[in-house]
Protein backbone atom coordinates (compact mmCIF):
# COMPACT_ATOMS: atom_id res chain seq x y z
CA UNK A 1 0.00 0.00 0.00
CA UNK A 2 1.27 3.49 -0.87
CA UNK A 3 2.19 5.64 2.11
CA UNK A 4 -0.22 8.38 1.01
CA UNK A 5 -3.10 5.89 0.95
CA UNK A 6 -2.10 4.58 4.38
CA UNK A 7 -1.98 8.11 5.80
CA UNK A 8 -5.44 8.84 4.40
CA UNK A 9 -6.95 5.61 5.69
CA UNK A 10 -5.40 5.71 9.16
CA UNK A 11 -5.92 9.45 9.40
CA UNK A 12 -9.66 9.10 8.93
CA UNK A 13 -9.72 6.33 11.52
CA UNK A 14 -7.77 8.46 14.02
CA UNK A 15 -10.14 11.40 13.55
CA UNK A 16 -13.10 9.14 14.35
CA UNK A 17 -11.40 7.66 17.42
CA UNK A 18 -10.39 11.04 18.79
CA UNK A 19 -13.70 12.67 17.89
CA UNK A 20 -15.73 10.27 20.00
CA UNK A 21 -13.47 10.51 23.06
CA UNK A 22 -14.07 13.67 25.12
CA UNK A 23 -10.82 13.13 27.08
CA UNK A 24 -8.70 13.22 23.91
CA UNK A 25 -10.55 16.26 22.59
CA UNK A 26 -9.87 18.02 25.90
CA UNK A 27 -6.16 17.30 25.49
CA UNK A 28 -6.13 19.44 22.35
CA UNK A 29 -8.15 22.17 24.06
CA UNK A 30 -5.87 22.05 27.09
CA UNK A 31 -2.91 23.13 24.95
CA UNK A 32 -4.86 26.23 23.89
CA UNK A 33 -5.89 26.91 27.49
CA UNK A 34 -2.27 26.70 28.68
CA UNK A 35 -1.12 29.09 25.95
CA UNK A 36 -3.88 31.58 26.77
CA UNK A 37 -3.21 31.50 30.51
CA UNK A 38 0.53 32.00 30.06
CA UNK A 39 0.15 34.78 27.49
CA UNK A 40 -2.23 36.91 29.55
CA UNK A 41 -1.66 35.56 33.06
CA UNK A 42 2.10 35.70 33.37
CA UNK A 43 2.54 39.47 32.80
CA UNK A 44 -0.39 40.28 35.08
CA UNK A 45 0.85 37.96 37.82
CA UNK A 46 4.42 39.24 37.49
CA UNK A 47 3.20 42.83 37.97
CA UNK A 48 1.01 41.88 40.93
CA UNK A 49 3.78 39.96 42.71
CA UNK A 50 6.29 42.76 42.13
CA UNK A 51 3.93 45.52 43.33
CA UNK A 52 3.11 43.56 46.49
CA UNK A 53 6.74 42.75 47.28
CA UNK A 54 6.34 38.98 46.88
CA UNK A 55 8.72 38.43 43.96
CA UNK A 56 11.31 39.79 44.24
CA UNK A 57 11.60 40.03 48.01
CA UNK A 58 14.09 39.34 50.79
CA UNK A 59 13.25 35.63 50.70
CA UNK A 60 12.77 35.35 46.92
CA UNK A 61 15.54 37.32 45.19
CA UNK A 62 14.13 36.99 41.66
CA UNK A 63 10.99 38.10 39.85
CA UNK A 64 8.48 35.86 38.10
CA UNK A 65 9.71 37.16 34.74
CA UNK A 66 13.15 35.72 35.53
CA UNK A 67 11.69 32.21 35.43
CA UNK A 68 9.64 32.67 32.25
CA UNK A 69 12.11 30.43 30.33
CA UNK A 70 11.57 27.62 32.85
CA UNK A 71 7.77 27.92 32.59
CA UNK A 72 7.76 28.06 28.79
CA UNK A 73 10.10 25.06 28.56
CA UNK A 74 7.87 22.99 30.83
CA UNK A 75 4.39 24.24 29.92
CA UNK A 76 4.84 24.68 26.16
CA UNK A 77 7.86 22.83 24.77
CA UNK A 78 7.45 19.73 26.94
CA UNK A 79 3.75 19.72 27.82
CA UNK A 80 2.75 20.55 24.23
CA UNK A 81 4.50 17.37 23.06
CA UNK A 82 3.23 15.42 26.07
CA UNK A 83 -0.39 16.24 25.23
CA UNK A 84 -0.03 15.19 21.59
CA UNK A 85 1.86 12.03 22.58
CA UNK A 86 -0.82 11.16 25.12
CA UNK A 87 -3.57 11.56 22.54
CA UNK A 88 -1.92 9.18 20.09
CA UNK A 89 -0.82 6.87 22.87
CA UNK A 90 -4.48 6.39 23.77
CA UNK A 91 -5.34 5.90 20.09
CA UNK A 92 -2.80 3.06 20.02
CA UNK A 93 -4.23 1.63 23.23
CA UNK A 94 -7.70 1.76 21.70
CA UNK A 95 -6.41 -0.21 18.71
CA UNK A 96 -4.69 -2.57 21.13
CA UNK A 97 -7.95 -3.17 23.02
CA UNK A 98 -9.79 -3.91 19.76
CA UNK A 99 -6.94 -6.08 18.38
CA UNK A 100 -6.70 -3.76 15.36
CA UNK A 101 -2.94 -4.15 15.13
CA UNK A 102 -3.04 -7.95 15.03
CA UNK A 103 -5.75 -7.82 12.36
CA UNK A 104 -3.65 -5.40 10.32
CA UNK A 105 -0.69 -7.81 10.28
CA UNK A 106 -2.60 -10.07 7.87
CA UNK A 107 -3.34 -7.17 5.50
CA UNK A 108 -1.05 -5.78 2.76
CA UNK A 109 -0.04 -2.91 5.06
CA UNK A 110 3.65 -3.33 6.04
CA UNK A 111 4.29 -2.93 9.76
CA UNK A 112 7.17 -0.55 9.02
CA UNK A 113 4.84 1.85 7.21
CA UNK A 114 2.31 1.67 10.03
CA UNK A 115 5.00 2.41 12.64
CA UNK A 116 6.39 5.25 10.50
CA UNK A 117 2.92 6.80 10.43
CA UNK A 118 2.50 6.32 14.19
CA UNK A 119 5.85 8.03 14.83
CA UNK A 120 5.65 10.71 12.17
CA UNK A 121 2.15 12.07 12.73
CA UNK A 122 2.56 12.81 16.47
CA UNK A 123 5.92 14.46 15.77
CA UNK A 124 4.48 16.70 13.06
CA UNK A 125 1.44 17.70 15.11
CA UNK A 126 3.57 18.27 18.21
CA UNK A 127 5.85 20.56 16.19
CA UNK A 128 2.83 22.65 15.15
CA UNK A 129 1.44 22.70 18.70
CA UNK A 130 4.77 23.64 20.35
CA UNK A 131 5.59 26.36 17.84
CA UNK A 132 2.06 27.72 17.99
CA UNK A 133 2.04 27.76 21.80
CA UNK A 134 5.43 29.45 22.16
CA UNK A 135 4.65 32.10 19.55
CA UNK A 136 1.25 32.82 21.08
CA UNK A 137 2.60 32.97 24.64
CA UNK A 138 5.16 35.49 23.35
CA UNK A 139 7.30 35.40 26.48
CA UNK A 140 11.02 34.51 26.53
CA UNK A 141 10.78 34.18 22.76
CA UNK A 142 13.73 33.38 20.50
CA UNK A 143 14.05 34.45 16.85
CA UNK A 144 11.69 32.45 14.65
CA UNK A 145 14.38 30.25 13.07
CA UNK A 146 15.62 29.20 16.50
CA UNK A 147 12.10 28.55 17.78
CA UNK A 148 11.48 26.33 14.74
CA UNK A 149 14.56 24.24 15.53
CA UNK A 150 13.72 24.05 19.25
CA UNK A 151 10.12 23.08 18.43
CA UNK A 152 11.32 20.38 16.03
CA UNK A 153 13.56 18.93 18.74
CA UNK A 154 10.81 19.10 21.35
CA UNK A 155 8.31 17.47 18.98
CA UNK A 156 10.23 14.17 19.16
CA UNK A 157 8.94 13.74 22.69
CA UNK A 158 5.43 13.09 21.31
CA UNK A 159 6.19 9.77 19.55
CA UNK A 160 8.22 8.71 22.61
CA UNK A 161 5.16 9.21 24.81
CA UNK A 162 2.84 7.50 22.31
CA UNK A 163 5.09 4.46 21.90
CA UNK A 164 5.67 4.29 25.66
CA UNK A 165 1.93 3.97 26.25
CA UNK A 166 1.49 1.42 23.48
CA UNK A 167 4.44 -0.68 24.61
CA UNK A 168 4.09 -0.73 28.38
CA UNK A 169 0.39 -0.15 29.09
CA UNK A 170 -1.93 -3.12 28.71
CA UNK A 171 -5.08 -1.01 28.43
CA UNK A 172 -6.47 2.50 28.86
CA UNK A 173 -6.71 2.14 32.63
CA UNK A 174 -2.95 1.62 32.84
CA UNK A 175 -2.57 4.38 30.26
CA UNK A 176 -4.21 6.87 32.64
CA UNK A 177 -1.78 5.80 35.37
CA UNK A 178 1.21 6.23 33.08
CA UNK A 179 -0.02 9.67 31.96
CA UNK A 180 0.61 10.87 35.52
CA UNK A 181 4.18 9.59 35.24
CA UNK A 182 4.63 11.68 32.10
CA UNK A 183 3.58 14.83 33.90
CA UNK A 184 5.80 14.13 36.90
CA UNK A 185 8.78 13.45 34.62
CA UNK A 186 8.45 16.99 33.31
CA UNK A 187 9.33 18.29 36.76
CA UNK A 188 12.91 17.83 35.56
CA UNK A 189 12.49 21.25 33.92
CA UNK A 190 11.14 22.87 37.08
CA UNK A 191 13.76 21.41 39.39
CA UNK A 192 16.66 21.47 36.93
CA UNK A 193 16.29 25.22 36.39
CA UNK A 194 17.38 25.88 39.97
CA UNK A 195 20.20 23.31 40.04
CA UNK A 196 23.63 24.79 39.24
CA UNK A 197 25.87 23.49 36.47
CA UNK A 198 27.43 20.91 36.26
CA UNK A 199 24.87 19.12 38.47
CA UNK A 200 22.09 20.35 36.21
CA UNK A 201 23.30 17.97 33.50
CA UNK A 202 22.19 15.02 35.60
CA UNK A 203 18.66 15.86 34.48
CA UNK A 204 19.86 15.05 30.97
CA UNK A 205 19.13 11.41 31.85
CA UNK A 206 15.60 12.49 30.89
CA UNK A 207 16.20 13.12 27.13
CA UNK A 208 13.55 15.87 26.63
CA UNK A 209 15.41 17.97 29.20
CA UNK A 210 18.16 18.55 26.63
CA UNK A 211 15.72 20.45 24.42
CA UNK A 212 14.72 22.72 27.29
CA UNK A 213 18.38 23.25 28.17
CA UNK A 214 19.16 24.17 24.56
CA UNK A 215 16.32 26.71 24.69
CA UNK A 216 17.72 28.25 27.87
CA UNK A 217 21.22 28.43 26.42
CA UNK A 218 19.91 30.09 23.26
CA UNK A 219 18.12 32.71 25.37
CA UNK A 220 21.41 33.37 27.19
CA UNK A 221 23.17 33.83 23.85
CA UNK A 222 25.40 30.79 24.31
CA UNK A 223 26.85 29.29 21.15
CA UNK A 224 26.54 25.82 22.69
CA UNK A 225 22.76 25.72 22.33
CA UNK A 226 22.77 23.97 18.95
CA UNK A 227 25.18 21.28 20.20
CA UNK A 228 22.93 20.58 23.19
CA UNK A 229 19.89 20.57 20.87
CA UNK A 230 21.63 18.10 18.55
CA UNK A 231 22.49 15.89 21.52
CA UNK A 232 18.87 15.95 22.66
CA UNK A 233 17.66 15.02 19.19
CA UNK A 234 20.12 12.11 18.94
CA UNK A 235 19.11 10.78 22.36
CA UNK A 236 15.41 11.01 21.55
CA UNK A 237 15.81 9.38 18.15
CA UNK A 238 17.72 6.56 19.83
CA UNK A 239 14.94 6.14 22.38
CA UNK A 240 12.32 6.14 19.61
CA UNK A 241 14.21 3.39 17.75
CA UNK A 242 14.38 1.29 20.92
CA UNK A 243 10.66 1.75 21.56
CA UNK A 244 9.88 0.85 17.94
CA UNK A 245 11.77 -2.42 18.36
CA UNK A 246 9.84 -3.18 21.56
CA UNK A 247 6.54 -2.22 19.90
CA UNK A 248 7.25 -4.38 16.84
CA UNK A 249 8.05 -7.43 18.99
CA UNK A 250 4.85 -6.86 20.95
CA UNK A 251 2.83 -6.67 17.73
CA UNK A 252 3.91 -10.16 16.66
CA UNK A 253 3.24 -11.79 20.04
Show pLDDT as tens, one digit a residue, over the chain (253 residues).
567 777 787 788 788 878 877 888 888 899 999 999 999 999 999 999 999 999 998 889 999 999 999 999 999 999 999 999 999 998 888 887 776 776 666 666 677 888 888 899 999 999 999 999 999 999 999 999 999 999 999 999 999 999 999 888 888 778 888 888 888 899 999 999 999 988 999 999 999 999 999 999 999 999 999 999 999 999 999 999 999 999 888 766 6
Residue 15's nearest CA partner among 126, 77, 94 is 94
CB 27 within 8 A of CB 86: yes
Residue 196: half-sphere exposure toward Cβ, Cα within 13 Å:
0
Amino acid sequence: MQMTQLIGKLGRSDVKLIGRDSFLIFMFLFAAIIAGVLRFGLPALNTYLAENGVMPSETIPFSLSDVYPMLVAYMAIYTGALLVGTIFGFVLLDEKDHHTLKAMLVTPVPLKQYVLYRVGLPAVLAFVVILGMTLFINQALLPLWQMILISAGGALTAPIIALFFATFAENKVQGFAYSKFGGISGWAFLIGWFVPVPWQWLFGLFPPFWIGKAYWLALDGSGWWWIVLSGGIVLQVGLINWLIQRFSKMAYR
